[in-house]
Structures are given as C-alpha cells and as structure tokens.
Amino acid sequence: MSLHEYQESIEIDSKDYTFYSLIMAAIRKADDGNLARLRMAFPETYNELKARYNAPGGLLEESKMITNPKVGDKVHYQPSHYLDNEFGNGIIKEAATHKQEAVRVVYKCDNDWDNYTNYSSALTYLKDLKPGWRT
C-alpha cells in the first residue's frame, strides 16, 4: 500500500459509502488474486454484483426492493437463502435508520396487527424485505 492509496482511502471514507457498496467497488477494481480473495470472503455479494451487472439497470427481476420504507408498511421477510414458500409477514415499526440499509419490523404480535407498535421489533435489512404480505 502506498501513501497515495492511504490518502485515497481517507477521501473515500469521507463520502460515507455503505460497507457493501465499497465491497462491490473493490470487486470491480480487483486484480485476479484479490478478486479470488474477495469472492471467497463475500460470495453472496460477488454473486449479486455479477447478477446485477448482467441485469438491465442492475434491477433483478426477482427482487422487488423496498426503496422508500415507511412506518406502517406491510412487508414480508424473504432473504435469498429462503425457499419460495418460506417467508415472514410483518409491519415496519421504525424506518429512519442509518443510511437506510435496515428498518425495524414487527413480525409476531398474536395477529394483533392494529396494535403492532406495542410489540418488539427486529432490525431487518431492506435487501431481505419485499413489499406487502404473502399468504
């Protein structure tokens, strides 16, 4: 590493990019040896970057990403490792989070959805949420 690369890292850090955007940028810039290391360390990120690179506008057909979450929105949790019939319905309880990577979601409230704010919530990555409830 050189002084110039160190100074570049300070400039990049000042931009406050998210962790995974930095990993994806590193994958894009990596030489063969570093690419192999990044691919082993972040296989899901590598695979998603590859899929998005080949998708029009980077938008994956199967992922309806929630881009503007609001308190009270109905969502279902379905991370990439779940089967199609595996999911969990919930309601967004808190949406204002750092860098909008995750929100707090109430999943289980004994079907007392009108009073979901009285129940505990789980911090959930937006990438694992889809809009609306599933049955």
Which tokens belong to 53? 């690179």
Q: Are residues 52 and 78 in the same domain?
A: no
- Residues 50, 81, single domain; the answer is no
- Per-residue model confidence (pLDDT) at position 46: 95
3-class secondary structure per residue, the chain: CCHHHHHHHHHHHHCCCCHHHHHHHHHHHCCHHHHHHHHHHCHHHHHHHHHHHHCHHHCCCCCCCCCCCCCCCEEEECCCCCCCCCCEEEEEEECCCHHHCEEEEECCCCCCHHHHHHCCCEEEEHHHEEECCCC
The reply to whether 79 and 30 lie within a common domain is no
Tell which wins on pLDDT, 43 or 60. Answer: 43
Residue 110, domain CATH: 2.30.30
> What pLDDT sits at residue 135?
87
- The reply to whether 51 and 86 lie within a common domain is no
> What pLDDT is recorded for position 1?
87
pLDDT in tens, 66-117: 778 899 999 999 988 888 889 999 999 998 755 578 899 999 898 999 999 9
74: left (phi over 0), alpha (psi -120 to 50) or beta: beta
Any domain includes 112: yes
Give yes or no for residue 42 having a pLDDT over 90.
yes
Looking at the fold, whether 42 and 79 belong to one and the same domain comes out as no
pLDDT for the residue 118: 96
Residue 63 lies in a domain: no
Q: What is the number of domains present in the chain?
A: 2
Look at residue 64 in the predicted model and tell me its pLDDT.
61
Closest CA to 116 of 85, 91, 86, 87: 91
Q: What is the pLDDT of residue 97?
A: 58
Query: What's the average model confidence in pLDDT over 33-42?
Result: 97
Q: Residue 64 domain-assigned?
A: no
Residues 10-25 have pLDDT tens digits of 999 999 898 999 999 9
Looking at the structure, do residues 81 and 120 belong to the same domain, yes or no?
A: yes
Query: How far is 93 from 30, CA to CA, in rounded Å?
Result: 39
Does residue 52 lie within any of the structural domains?
yes
Answer whether residue 65 is part of any domain. no
82 with 33, same domain? no
Domain around 44: 3-58
Q: Are residues 48 and 12 in the same domain?
A: yes
| pLDDT tops 70 at residue 129 | yes
Within a domain: residue 113?
A: yes
Judge contact between 67 and 58, C-beta under 8 A. Answer: no
pLDDT of residue 80: 84
Q: What average pLDDT is seen over the chain?
A: 89
Residue with tokens 């998708």: 55
Note whether 107 and 81 are same-domain residues: yes
